[in-house]
Amino acid sequence: MLDDTSKERTASRRVSSLEAAGVKATPSPTVRKKAPVLPSPISTTRSGRSQTSSVKTPNSATSPAITSRLAKMSPLKSRLTPSNSKDITVLRKKVYSNTATGRSSSRLSNHSSSSSIRLTPTTSKSSHQSGTAGTASSKRSLIVDELKVKYQEAQATILTKDDLLKQQETDLKDLRTKLEHLQCQLEQQISANQSRADEQVRMEQLREQQQQLHEHEKLNILLHQEEVEKRHCQNFDSLRGKHEIEKNTLNDTIVERNRMIDKLNHEMDEMRDNIQVGKEEIAWLGKSARGKV
């Protein structure tokens, strides 16, 4: 009897742990006070192990399907963004945690069922299995719905990202065309600036050449002017000398002629005097002749 009471206490503790895990355990029918005829403990444990090994929990049965769906969804990794991949990893962790909790709950349910086999009939076992199957199917449907929602969200984000990528590609093409146009304009401007710089250099060279030519012409003109002035000075000096000589000669001739004029004047005066004397002599002679007559 003590063994039976201890077994009932352990069964109640296991049921409470299942309830704490979230699995609703079906209430087993009341056990009569009369202890049923039970086999040996060794045989019951073996039968319990065989039953637990033969009975498959719904969570363990559904885990390959979920993993197969995840495996089918795995090719989306190449198209998913880092945020979507993080969401999928979180979902996978949730699925694995749910499967782990399902497995632990199934183990606890198996242990509780093995303990309840000793005390309850087969009806309690079937009702307990149907309750765990219902909870597992509801969990499975919730997980599938969550995965569908996440998959749709991932597809929507992928489409938006594809649209954004296409828009960015078009913007990039536009920017490339603008950049090429700007490069062409820049090259044209550089060539124009280079041609302007070359023209400025040529103009400066021409200005320098023109200035050098002007300076050379000025020097030539100055040299020619100096030579002409020298020649003029020489000619003027020679002409002055000639004029001086001619002046001196003229002065000499004038002096000579003045002398000749003076001489002629003196001779004329003498001739006048002689004529006057002759006239006087003639008049005296005439008077004398008249007196004689």
Hey, CA dihedral for 98, 61, 84, 153, is it positive or negative?
negative
Alpha-carbon distance values, 250 to 109, 242, 246, 261, 263 (Å): 171, 12, 6, 16, 19
User: Which residues neighbour 106 within 8 Å (Cβ) at sequence distance 6 or greater?
Assistant: 57, 59, 60, 132
Alpha-carbon distance values, 174 to 106, 163, 165, 177, 187 (Å): 62, 16, 14, 5, 20
Q: What is the spatial distance between Cα 201 and Cα 210, in angstroms, rounded to a whole number?
A: 14
Given this model, what pLDDT does residue 221 score?
93
User: Which tokens go with 289?
Assistant: 């002749």
Kindly give the confidence (pLDDT) of every residue in the chain, 293 residues in length, as a single tens digit, with 9 standing for 90 and above: 445 555 555 545 444 444 554 544 444 444 454 444 444 444 444 444 444 444 444 444 444 444 444 444 444 444 444 445 555 565 566 555 555 555 555 554 554 444 444 444 444 555 556 666 667 788 888 889 889 999 999 999 999 999 999 999 999 999 999 999 999 999 998 988 888 889 989 999 999 999 999 999 999 999 999 999 998 899 989 988 888 999 999 999 999 999 999 999 999 999 999 998 888 888 888 888 777 66
- pTM reported for the whole predicted model: 0.29
**Which amino acid belongs to residue 33?**
K
Element spanning 277, H or E: helix 122-292
**C-alpha distance across the termini of the chain, in Å:** 251
Given this model, what pLDDT does residue 168 score?
92
Cβ atoms of residues 158 and 79 within 8 Å: yes
Q: What is the spatial distance between Cα 160 and Cα 35, in angstroms, rounded to a whole number?
A: 69
Give Cα 18 to chain centroid, integer Å.
64
Given this model, what pLDDT does residue 283 score?
84
Nearest to 79 by CA among 158, 149, 150: 158
Q: Torsion angle, CA of 153/158/159/160, rounded to 10 degrees?
A: 90
**Which amino acid belongs to residue 174?**
D
Q: What residue ranges do the domains of the chain occupy?
A: 2-25+49-170
Given this model, what pLDDT does residue 256 score?
92
